[in-house]
Amino acid sequence: MGVKLIEPSRLVLARKRAGLTASALARLVDVTPQSIHNYEAGRQSPTEDTLIRIAGALMLPESFFRLGPVSDITADEVSFRARTKMASRVRGMAICSAQLAVEVRDYVLSTFKVPSVDVPYIEQDMEPALAADYVRSRWGLDRDAPAPNMVHLLESKGVAVFSLPPLGEHLDAFAFWRNDEPFVLLNLQKSAERGRFDAAHELGHLVLHRDTTRLNGRDVEREANEFASSFLIPATGIKRRMRSNTTLDRILQEKSYWRVAAMAMAYRLHALGLLSDWSYRNNVIALGRLGYRTGEPAGMERERSLLFQKVFAASSRGVAIKKMSSETGLPLGVLGELTFSVEPTTVPSLGVTSPSAERIDEVSSVWPRPKLKAVGH
């Protein structure tokens, strides 16, 4: 006799997240593939012993499978890059991370007050560079200065930013809208500088491609790349600092100033006419010899979530993350994968009102008036 019915969509999510076919999972838990199909279709409920084996094989607690339905997110709604190179299994695993991110975000929204969404919706066609300049102006960013921490900036504008588990070289990052809420998921396996570009690239998708029917268009990725380059290295700012056909040393100085990858810096200078074709080609070759084609030697520190630091600092001794784990049915390791591996330790000067309503000093000017406080206490 079956136990209380599990939520079929949760079994589908958990299996795909593990990268398993129904037949592979059936072998692991010693049932028939048809039984797995029946569980996932809601036609049959597993026994207590079978559910225990399923939970163990998929490394999730039994309670996870008894929660409500998960959000239905399709690949067509997501700004995947290199779609043709990405295996369908990897694409499915990435979608599962997005679904879990929605679960965590729902918990955060039910418990804390976070910044409201301020991501402009550009309905008419606008050149990516102009759109980037518009967003910078709207957000009060100095055109002559580098963008601040991109994860902090997006969070301060109401974007739900999460990290991804290692899912392969063809998955950099992706973004999507869920109702009126923007999400960005970033691959932490890339360099910190590449992570900043990925965040700006996904912001470009959120601003330029909210109409998901355009996400499969030929020019979509080019537009997002152009938006990211313009957002991170504004033309007016770089032209004030640079002359044409600059040296390799100056390229490296500027890449550190603007906090971007060296190759991205060279590309931007070439696109703006500040490097000739000949100089660009030679500098790219030189950068490749120095290791900048595959990484960023002596690069910057990775940008991570401020919001989750604040959430987990809202109570002592890890109570907040343990409660989140209990409410979402997600083990601490899975939550760590999604939240930039933020440790639930006390973080000073975070501008969060704890459940006991004790005020902590507000955060730096990057997030001038943080709106994160516990609600319902």
- Quick one: pLDDT at residue 246? 85
- Quick one: pLDDT at residue 377? 35
Residues ≥6 apart with Cβ < 8 Å to 210: 121, 177
Residue with tokens 């039984």: 35
- Quick one: pLDDT at residue 316? 64
pTM: 0.86
Among candidate residues 241, 22, 226, the one with its CA nearest the CA of residue 133:
226
- Quick one: pLDDT at residue 339? 95
- Quick one: pLDDT at residue 374? 44
The verdict on domain 8-70 having CATH code 1.10.260.40 is: yes
Phi/psi at 175 (nearest 5 deg)?
Answer: -140, 160
CA pair distance 158, 274, nearest whole angstrom: 36
- Quick one: pLDDT at residue 369? 35
Domain range 88-230, CATH architecture: Orthogonal Bundle (1.10)
Tens place of pLDDT per residue across the chain (377 aa): 444 579 999 999 999 999 999 999 999 999 999 999 999 999 999 999 999 999 999 999 999 999 999 999 887 788 777 655 677 888 889 999 999 999 999 999 999 999 999 999 887 788 999 999 999 999 999 989 999 999 999 999 999 999 998 886 678 899 999 989 999 999 998 899 999 999 999 999 999 998 766 656 668 999 999 999 999 999 999 999 987 778 999 999 999 999 999 999 999 999 999 999 999 999 999 999 999 998 999 889 999 999 999 888 876 667 888 889 999 999 999 999 999 985 443 333 333 333 322 222 222 333 333 345 444 43
- Quick one: pLDDT at residue 219? 85
- Quick one: pLDDT at residue 84? 58
Parse the chain into domains and list their residue ranges.
Answer: 8-70, 88-230, 235-289, 307-374
- Quick one: pLDDT at residue 152? 98
315-354 as b/e: b if 16+ CB within 10 A? beeeebbeebbebbbbeeebbbbbbbebebeebeebbbbb
